[in-house]
Structure 1
Amino acid sequence: MTVAVTAASGQLGRLVVEALLRRAAGPVVAIVRDPAKVADLAERGVEVRQASYDDAEALDRALAGVDRVLLISGNEFGKRLDQHTTVIRAAERAGVELLAYTSIPRATENPTLLAQEHRETEAVLANSTVSHTVLRNSWYWENYEHSVVPAVESGTLYGAGGEGRIAGAARADYAEAAAVVLTTEGHAGRVYELGGDERLTYAEVAQRISEASGKPVRYQDVAEGDYVAALRQAGLDADYARVLADADAKGIAAGFLDVSSGDLGKLIGRPTTPAVEVFGAALAG
């Protein structure tokens, strides 16, 4: 069985490839825009194929002979629906037997900016001819890596999530779950709501940062616009800062990232990675 991973040079994609290699379930194909970025994977026996989400002909070549594929959602906001649809159509033409897609919790009702293109992509999948699995990933604890050092230095973690809970996990946990879905049976037609064992408020996230650093950190809730400004000051670009602040105010505060299904732990067969471990790694390096 040949398994392909799109966006394989990205943070999640690389981890999925690594998880697939550990499972040794068959040939692994890394689909990337720039093959040079995954030369190390090629040296380990991964077949590298070049394609972007915008290039239907290249995707046809990249998916030739592929049995299962993970479509990792793109990061070009406003273009993602068209790009995802291009990949889905290529998968249909290639006769892919299963396509897994990384979405967001409760995508059909999630009101955040981030959820819109996920919801639309899920609709395209629902009407496609390819069997599919939807992986509705909650937050990666790594999403807060840019906030950990400033929070330790200032003693304050800022956000706009109120008292909402985040069922976060390490990026590697979600990658392992994707690898399980791609290499085992019984997942076609399933929608997995994936979140970590820890369901933390921002105040509790601040406590975990404090544990990791050994320094006191408290949480300060701020208005959405003020959080955008804080994220921009931390180095994020304007569009990404706006999307994250919106996710806080309309997603986290309203409970849309509080996942209690237990699906992630069931898929990977172990507890999910504690936030303090991820924050500690961010502080160490």
Structure 2
Amino acid sequence: MRVPFTKMHGLGNDFVMLDARERTLPPVTGPVAAALADRRTGIGCDQLILLQPASADAPGADFRMRIFNSDGSEVQSCGNAARAVALLHGSDAAVETAGGTIRVSPRDAGAEVDMGAPRFDWDDIPLAYAMDTAAMPVGWPYAGGTMHNPAAVNVGNPHVVFFVEDAYAVPLAEVGPDIETDALFPERINVNVASVSSGELTLRVWERGTGLTRACGTGACATAVAAIRRGLVQSPVTVHLPGGALTIAWQQGGTIMMTGPAQTAFTGSFEWEDFA
């Protein structure tokens, strides 16, 4: 069976998009997603995105987006992918995700996405036990220092956010895996390190199931929300990631609005049996 795909990216966070809204595909499993994501023997991507008809328990959704990390694990939300989906779809849409229904709107060279309201309760992250998620009384050492008192935010998927003097001075590739898999986070965690300068944020992200990426939309949302809650920045705020910048707007009690670019890299097709 030959299957078409679209390769897209948002600030260098790249995706293989499979559209099963009007055609039937075989089941996408974790091993299939991981095989397609492999950069040496597959198409190569940070995440595989599967578009399907909306499910019966998502009234009002136009279609469903499922997200698989490069290790084959399925996750709830992906902000950069949401912008790519908006571009691919070509018009405003309500999109069902495992983290809730989001709204996407194409814009010039990108999209605006209403990511929904952030959640802060410890059991919504989730954490293994109760604590203040605005300034968690925990820390992790690394060569040259210690990161401590992070914030935790669920923006459709779980994030822990550390504010440091220099985001690029932290060896995130070394400390990220330890934090991601710490017993404090029973569903693992996305790890963000951010620094503040002139009212803007510089951010690097270790994504659970993927590793270091050039950009993480939900990480930018979680970090902006955490910084606004602490009074470090004001909304809207520019978040600078290795792949480029996003604009995040959020007011207490409201939803998170993310604006940024997305792009189609190329299209192609593959034989399903080669990866099943």
Structure with the larger helix share:
1
TM-score normalised per structure 2? 0.29
Compare CA radii of gyration and give the structure with the larger one: 1
Structure with the larger strand share:
2
